[in-house]
Amino acid sequence: MHEYSLASAIVEQVKKIAQEHNASKVKTIKVSADPYEMVIPDLLKEAYGIIIDELELFKDSNLELLILPAEIICIDCDYKGEPSIEGDDEFAYNFRCAKCGSRDTHLNIRHLTIETVDLEILE
Ligand SMILES: [Zn+2]
């Protein structure tokens, strides 16, 4: 399961961050992902729940997932940002540059990223 490996990677990274900060608890983790990462939020949360079940550090913590809007880079004018989308289809080949209208664009895929981690720090 795609979400399971993503959740497990998040937990591993946050463990390191928590250790670096001498944290006693992880409270909230905010992550963002591109729509083309195809992450299903409910499955990610479910996988996260299973992984942290036995981990005291993560007890009662929350995982929040933000799905970012699609982003393109235009080959013709270097525009970077949300595309204009033709028709009802959200497939890449229907994307046009929002600035110059060119179809010569590529998707700027942003992989799942940890945005913020809210920790409880021991004094
Ligand atoms: Zn353009």
Distance 31 CA to ligand 1 centre (A): 29
CA of 97 relative to ligand 1 center, distance in Å: 5
State the angle between helix axes of 41-52 and 2-20 in degrees (0 to 180), rounded to the nearest 10. 50
Q: Which residues pair with 98 in a beta bridge?
A: none
Q: What is the 3-state secondary structure (H, E, C) of 4-60?
A: HHHHHHHHHHHHHHHHHCCEEEEEEEEEEECHHHCCCHHHHHHHHHHHHCCCHHHCC
What is the CATH code for 2-69+109-121? 3.30.2320.50
Q: What is the pLDDT of residues 54-71, one digit of tens each?
A: 999 999 999 999 999 889
User: What are the residue ranges spanned by the domains of the chain?
Assistant: 2-69+109-121, 72-107
Compute the distance from residue 82 Cα to the ligand 1 centre, in Å. 11
Q: What is the pLDDT of residue 71?
A: 92
Going edge to edge, which strands form the sheet with 105-107? 80-81, 72-74, 105-107
- What is the 90 CA–ligand 1 centroid distance (Å)? 18
Q: Given this model, what pLDDT does residue 36 score?
A: 79
Report CA(74)–ligand 1 centroid distance (Å): 5
The predicted model scores a pTM of 0.81
Contacts of 56 (CB under 8 A, 6+ apart): none
Residues 27-49 have pLDDT tens digits of: 999 999 988 788 889 999 999 99
Distance of CA 96 from the midpoint of ligand 1 (Å): 8
